Structure 1
Amino acid sequence: MQPERLLIVTAVEAEAAAVRAGVQASGVHPDTVVVAPVGVGPAAAAAGTARLLTLAEAAGTPYRAVLSAGIAGGFPGRAVVGATVLGARTIAADLGAEAPDGFLPVDQLGFGSNLLEADPALRKTLTAALPAAIVGDILTLATVTGTAQTADILQTRHPRAVAEAMEGYGVACAAQLAGVPFAEIRTISNPIGPRDRAAWRLPEAFSALTEAVAAACG
């Protein structure tokens, strides 16, 4: 009988390598966790995750859950560089329409929802394994924030948001369609605001990601 497997998807190989190091450090059997980079952005993430879930189901070895994992930008005052964040909800923050009075999310337009909840049981397990993690909303954006003005707008529009990335909502949509529990875990590499590569702390964020995955899988 095949063991139940967890799927962890990232955007790029560098994130996947950090996740694999965490899986190895956790001591779990390597056959129980599959780590795969599926591409940058919500569309690539949705397509890549859906393909992996479909192939596993067709083979008779469906995944027990899927995690969207990687690095992210943190909202100042909510998640500092190096912190680990868990998504209570994953929100497609730029999915909607512009209007004279401001942005209208897709749910207000009557075309579905731009918000998906993390699986409660999976979130509870991750929170117990990572008690220091910051729990809040994680925004998915096709264009990440690069100005103070946009950061302020997003913070005001999403008072519970702690971080932004580019893939979570796509992964969540694929998981929901497949009926597979979903959650999102990120580590903070930079503050959200004016684009400043000198302020990014990628090694620290990758190290934190390895540690978080090791604790989550252990």
Structure 2
Amino acid sequence: MKILIVAATRPEIAPLYVHFNLPQKDFVQTAEFDILITGVGMTAAAFALGQRLSSKYNLVLNLGIAGSFDPTIPLGSVLNIISDELSELGAEDKNGFIGIDELGFGKSKFSAHHHLLNDLLTSLKRVSGITVNRVLGNENSIAEIIKRLNPATESMEGAAVLYSCEQTGTPCLQVRSISNYVEPRNKERWKIGLAVKNLNDWAIRFLTNT
């Protein structure tokens, strides 16, 4: 099975590069898997996938770190994001929000579709997330998104990757580790190093046992 690993930045999967002795490039090819570094954000992710995604891949694996809205999920946890939503795609209506679905111009929610029964995957907690252009850090906007969508995670690329895979009919996974809670910005509480380590430990085991 040929896998395309997709990440926004190289530091998020740096230990994977080291483990497999890979060159420090944004597109790397091996016999079993390729790596694509897209850049940060939905536009960069969609553009990069548009250039590289093809029928030769049997699975797209989106890896990255994320924020969590759920304080019961420990920092460093590795999660299986089974659905992801473009939370900002729509229109403001006075004090409310009308999603793109309700407007009748498309859809905002996409699912990860695959047929894998790998124990390393099935053991992960399954959650839903949102994809944003602006990482949330205001108490009012955080409360509004929890009330409207109640997501578990926040990223800046996930839904764009799932959208691209849906358009091409490519099986896909999104696996992320939690580096911080979604709250007023406080870098002292972030655990990026732990999140990166746990994510890559999982990814290396997955790649060597699939």
Cα offsets for 1:151-193 (capped at 9, x unmatched): 222222223x211000011111221222211221100001101
RMSD: 1.9
Counterpart of 1:121 in 2: which secondary structure? coil
Distance 1:174 1:99 in 2: 29
Partner of 2:11: 14
Offset at residue 102 of structure 1 (A): 1.0
Quick one: percent identity of the two aligned structures? 28
Partner Cα separation in structure 2 for residue 163 and residue 78 of structure 1? 12
Question: Which position in structure 1 is the counterpart of 2:145?
Answer: 154
Distance 1:22 1:82, change over 3 A: farther
| Partner residue, 1:175 | 165
Superposition TM-score, scaled by structure 2 size: 0.87
| Correspondence for 1:189 | 179
| Equivalent residue in structure 2 for 1:110, among 104, 111, 115 | 104
| C-alpha distance in 2 between matches for 1:137 and 1:23 | 30
Structure number with the higher helix fraction is 1
Contact 2:71–2:181 (Cα < 8 Å) also in 1: no
CA contact (8 A) 1:5 1:32 kept: yes
Q: 1:135 aligned to 2:129?
A: no
Hey, what's the Cα distance between the residues in 1 that align with 2:20 and 2:153?
A: 23
Q: Is the 8 A contact 1:85 1:133 kept in 2?
A: yes
Tell whether the 8 Å contact from 2:132 to 2:156 is kept in structure 1 after alignment.
yes
Separation of aligned partners in 1, 2:133 and 2:206: 27
TM normalised by structure 1 equals 0.84
Distance 1:100 1:22 in 2: 52
Mind listing any 5+ residue stretches in structure 1 that lack a counterpart? 25-29
Q: Does 1:51 align with 2:48?
A: no
Over residues 30-50 of structure 1, what are the superposed CA-to-partner deviations in whole Å (9 max), with x where a residue is unaligned? 521112211100110011012
Count of matched residue pairs = 200
Q: Quote how far apart the aligned CAs of 1:86 are.
A: 0.9
Distance 2:129 2:17 in 1: 22
**Distance of aligned partners of 1:112 and 1:204 in 2 relative to their CA distance in 1, 3 Å threshold:** same
Residue deviations 1:112-155 (CA, integer Å, cap 9, x gap)? 10001110424x54xx3145522111211011111222222222
Q: Which runs of 5+ in 2 are unaligned?
A: 22-29
Letter in 1 for 2:165: A
CA contact (8 A) 2:13 2:196 kept: no
Instruction: Say which SS state the counterpart of residue 107 (structure 1) adopts.
Output: helix
Is 1:16–1:35's contact at 8 Å kept on the other side of the alignment?
no
Partner amino acid, structure 2, of 1:89: S
State how far apart, in whole Å, the 2-side matches of 1:87 and 1:147 are: 24
Q: Which residue of 2 aligns with 1:201?
A: 191
* Matched residue, 1:37: 37
Q: Distance in 2 between matches of 1:211 and 1:182?
A: 20
Partner of 2:90: 96
